[in-house]
Every structure is written in C-alpha cells, then in structure tokens.
C-alpha cells in the first residue's frame, strides 16, 4: 500500500524533525500497569488477559498546529484587535489553528474512537501523531513503556491507514498480500519463532485472521467495500505494528460491514500475544457501536478536545457541566452537537476545553531516542532494490 503525505509534498526521510519548532518523539520509561485480558466477555471495556504483557503508550501533549491562509482581503487593525481580544482564531486572515493544545494517550490493548464534526481536525491529528505531518508549531509526542529491553524497544512500530486505499484491482486478495510480503523483510510474528516465516505462511495467516478466506482468490476490484477495507488492514499488519492509526476505516460501509470492521479491530487490539494500540476516526458511530471502544476522543469545531476518557463515562462526565443526554439518544451524536455549538453556550464549551487541557501525563524518567530511528522502526526494512525489482517484474 502506497503511503503519501497529503500535507507536505516535499516530505523528507524524517517525518518528524528534531528542531525547536517541531515535535519531539521520546521513549518514556515509566511504571505502566499491566493489561489483563478476560475471555469471558469480548465486549467489555476493560479487557483482561491471563498473560501479563508490558503496556506501550503513545502520548501527545500541548499539540498545536496552524496553517497560513493566503487571502487577498486585509482586515482592519480594529478588527484584528477585536479578534485577538475575543480569542477568535478564525478571524485571522493569515494564520488559522487547526489543532489547539491537544493532550491524549493511547495504549496497547485498547481501542480509541476519534469523533467530531467534519472539519474539526481529526485527520490532521492522526497525521500529526503518526509522523506524516511534520509542520508542527509546538507540542511533544512520547512513546512510553515499562520495557527495559533494548530489543523490545527496537520492535516498536507505528502504522497508519489513510482514508484512501491504493491497491491493484487486477490482483487477487491472496496475490496482493503475497507480493506485499515479498517486497519487505518478513517481520510479521518474528517474536514467536527464531526463523522468519515464509511469505506464504504470513499470507495464509493474515487471510484466516481477518476472515478473507471466502474471497482470497477473487480479484480485489470485485470484492465488497468491507472486504477491501479488511485487506487494507491486513497489508498494514504485515509490518507487525505496535500502534495502528486509521482514518475513517468504516467510511462507505453499510451498517453490518461497519460493525464487522469494528469487531475485527477490537480483536486485534485485544490479541493476547501481540496487543495493539488502535485509534481510528469515525463519523457518527451508533450507540451500539460505542461499546467496542475503550475510550473516546472528541474534538470540537475549533480544534479543541471536548472529552478524552472511557466511553461509558462520557454521559456522566457531561452531566457535571449541566449537559444531560436525553434518554434513548445516541451519546456520540449528543456530544458532536455540543462540539458544533448547538446545545450549549460558549462558556460551557470553554469549561469543557479547559478541563481537558489540564489533564496532562507526568513526564518522569524520560528517555529520548532518535526521531529517525522511530520512523525507521515504523517502516519495515525492505529487501534490496534488486530483489524488489525482481518481485515487481514477476508481478
């Protein structure tokens, strides 16, 4: 799958740049609690496991991103002063803030839903924390773990699935995975065996794991939207990601395929041998769909965060601000309407924003590693150019 940067065409080898104006990617060594998974209820919010595994977290703090808006209209000095006084970011004709002082955390074994109205900055946030967008103004991105093993630290990888899928429609599902695995060094499931598994074994394992057996010999162009989306996820799993970010993976799917995709991602997050930290943006999730998410990250139209916490506690949290969700009303739709500004006044929204900005993660015993190394770990070590050319010629 081809991954292109839609924000900056002149992308360098380092999506995250180590400078004073850019974000910093760190590896934090902290006392993080163990995740315990319980097979009795797959849909419970706090998944448990009998096997203790080290939790890995991706944190972002004070993340701010603004763009320069070129306009031929020039505001008067009185208008500029009025906008600065009222803190109205959209009045400035030169700079426009898309993300404003965002804080958040995702961790292995959990799945987080990123929701909000259109234009609130969901895709921008995903591209920033994934390293695809390097045009930060301020903020830090930290990878935190209790692992004190250098080899385990080097195995941390991050994968990003964009909204637009790029696949060859003339290949079958099996051929797509087979060629993709041959074009890269076989790193999938390398922890469980001393020898790297063969490309066919990797392909067959992913086909079974993602429920693609019924369409493995069908051309990609003839597969349903849900099957194509699962194939896109399978292509990202070839990299054995520790952190998986997805931009609207349920877009264009019917209600049944949407639920199946969410269930699949939840199973991947709760995998006993290799749990994944998953964050995905989603438009208008149903009330029944919210039970599959451990946490919700809700954004408002002005690029602020309204809520960041467990999905089952959101309604009670909003009630503290005199915002009561009506009975039989979808909580996701309710808080989205709040983010637009339809259900409350400006002061209440500012109180919600201020409460979220005060939630910061402690940064103790921080260990900073090379930003280039983080990106190199996120990208699979591909085979030599001659070997890749050979497989492309065969394809």
Q: Which of 89-93, 131-135, 225-229 has the lowest mean pLDDT?
A: 89-93
**Calpha distance 384→49 (Å, rounded):** 40
Position 359 scores a pLDDT of 74
Rounded to two decimals, the pTM is 0.76
Max CA pair span of the chain: 70
Mean pLDDT of 268-296: 92
Q: Which of 76-80, 136-140, 307-311, 331-335 has the lowest mean pLDDT?
A: 76-80
Instruction: Residue 65: name the closest of 33, 104, 95 by CA.
Output: 95
* pLDDT of residue 380 exceeding 70: no
Position 379 scores a pLDDT of 60
CA angle (316 as vertex; 104, 55 as ends), nearest 5: 35
Encoded tokens for 281: 């943006």
| Higher pLDDT, residue 389 or 332 | 332
| Higher pLDDT, residue 377 or 168 | 168
pLDDT tens per residue across span 50-75: 334 577 888 888 999 988 876 544 44
* pLDDT of residue 46 exceeding 80: no
Local structure of residue 69 (DSSP, 8 states): -
pLDDT tens per residue across span 287-337: 989 999 999 999 998 899 999 999 999 999 999 999 999 988 999 999 999
**Which band of pLDDT confidence, cut at 50, 70 and 90, is reported for residue 389?**
low
**Calpha distance 201→203 (Å, rounded):** 5
**Which band of pLDDT confidence, cut at 50, 70 and 90, is reported for residue 17?**
very low
Sheet holding 158-161, edge to edge: 158-161, 243-247, 277-281, 111-115, 295-299, 305-310
Instruction: Residue 46: name the closest of 358, 310, 385, 394 by CA.
Output: 310
**Calpha distance 222→220 (Å, rounded):** 5
How many Cβ atoms are within 10 Å of 53's Cβ, its own excluded? 18
Contacting residues for 306 by C-beta, under 8 A, at least 6 apart: 116, 298, 299, 300, 335, 338, 339, 349, 352, 353, 356
**Calpha distance 330→282 (Å, rounded):** 14
Q: Could you tell me the domains of the chain?
A: 25-157+241-394 (3.40.50.300)
Contacting residues for 217 by C-beta, under 8 A, at least 6 apart: 172, 173, 174
R_g (Cα) of the chain, nearest Å? 22
Mean pLDDT of 368-375: 52
* pLDDT of residue 6 exceeding 80: no
**Which band of pLDDT confidence, cut at 50, 70 and 90, is reported for residue 138?**
confident
Encoded tokens for 80: 């500029």
Tokens 């087979």 belong to: 178
Residues 243, 105 contacting (CB under 8 angstroms): no
Q: Which of 25-39, 65-79, 226-240 has the lowest mean pLDDT?
A: 25-39
Tokens 């990003």 belong to: 160
Mean pLDDT of 221-231: 92
Instruction: Residue 164: name the closest of 248, 85, 104 by CA.
Output: 248
Mean pLDDT of 230-238: 92
Position 383 scores a pLDDT of 55
**Calpha distance 335→315 (Å, rounded):** 9
- Buried-state track 261-296, b at ≥16 Cβ within 10 A, e below 16: bbebbbebbbeeebbbbbbbbbeebeeebbebbbbb
Position 131 scores a pLDDT of 82
Q: State the average pLDDT for the chain.
A: 76
Local structure of residue 197 (DSSP, 8 states): P
Mean pLDDT of 221-233: 92
Position 391 scores a pLDDT of 60
Mean pLDDT of 93-103: 85
Position 372 scores a pLDDT of 52
Residues 27, 152 contacting (CB under 8 angstroms): no
* pLDDT of residue 265 exceeding 90: yes
* pLDDT of residue 9 exceeding 60: no
| Higher pLDDT, residue 140 or 176 | 176
**Calpha distance 128→122 (Å, rounded):** 10
pLDDT tens per residue across span 155-193: 788 889 998 877 888 899 999 998 888 776 544 444 444
Share of the chain above pLDDT 70, in %: 65
Helix, strand or coil, per DSSP, at residue 96 = strand
**Calpha distance 104→281 (Å, rounded):** 14
Instruction: Residue 241: name the closest of 104, 74, 374, 60 by CA.
Output: 374
Residue 104 φ then ψ, to 5°: -170, 165
| Higher pLDDT, residue 338 or 367 | 338
| Residue 278: C-alpha distances to residues 116, 202, 209, 295 (Å) | 17, 21, 17, 10
Mean pLDDT of 348-361: 84
């Amino acid at each position: 799958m081809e991954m292109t940067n839609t924000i900056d065409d002149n992308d360098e080898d380092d999506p995250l740049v180590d400078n004073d104006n850019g974000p910093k990617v760190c590896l934090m060594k902290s006392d993080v609690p163990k995740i315990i998974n319980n097979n009795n209820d797959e849909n419970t919010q706090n998944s448990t496991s009998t096997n203790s595994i080290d939790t890995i977290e991706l944190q972002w703090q004070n993340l701010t991103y603004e763009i320069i808006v070129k306009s031929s209209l020039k505001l008067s000095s009185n208008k500029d002063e009025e906008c600065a006084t009222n803190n109205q970011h959209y009045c400035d004709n030169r700079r426009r803030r898309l993300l404003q002082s965002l804080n958040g955390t995702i961790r292995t074994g959990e799945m987080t839903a990123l929701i909000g109205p259109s234009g609130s900055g969901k895709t921008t946030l995903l591209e920033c924390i994934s390293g695809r967008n390097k045009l930060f103004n301020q903020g830090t991105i930290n990878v935190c773990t209790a692992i004190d093993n250098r080899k385990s630290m080097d195995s941390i990888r991050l994968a990003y699935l964009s909204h637009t899928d790029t696949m060859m429609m003339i290949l079958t599902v099996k051929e797509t995975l087979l060629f993709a695995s041959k074009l890269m060094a076989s790193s999938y499931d390398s922890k469980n065996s001393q020898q790297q598994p063969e490309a066919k074994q990797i392909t067959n394992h992913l086909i079974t794991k993602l429920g693609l057996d019924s369409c493995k010999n069908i051309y990609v162009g003839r597969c349903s939207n849900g099957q194509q989306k699962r194939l896109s996820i399978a292509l990202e799993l070839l990299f054995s990601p520790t952190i998986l970010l997805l931009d609207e993976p349920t877009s264009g799917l019917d209600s049944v395929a949407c639920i199946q995709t969410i269930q699949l991602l939840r199973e991947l997050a709760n995998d006993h041998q290799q749990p994944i930290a998953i964050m995905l943006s989603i438009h208008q999730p149903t009330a029944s769909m919210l039970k599959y998410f451990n946490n919700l990250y809700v954004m408002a139209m002005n690029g602020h965060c309204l809520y960041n916490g467990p999905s089952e506690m959101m309604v009670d949290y909003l009630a503290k601000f005199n915002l009561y969700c009506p009975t039989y009303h979808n909580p996701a739709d309710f808080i989205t309407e709040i983010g637009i500004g339809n259900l409350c006044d400006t002061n209440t929204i500012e109180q919600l924003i201020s409460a979220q900005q005060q939630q910061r993660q402690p940064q103790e015993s921080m260990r900073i590693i090379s930003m280039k190394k983080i990106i190199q770990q996120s990208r699979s070590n591909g085979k030599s150019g001659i070997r890749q050319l050979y497989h492309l010629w065969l394809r």
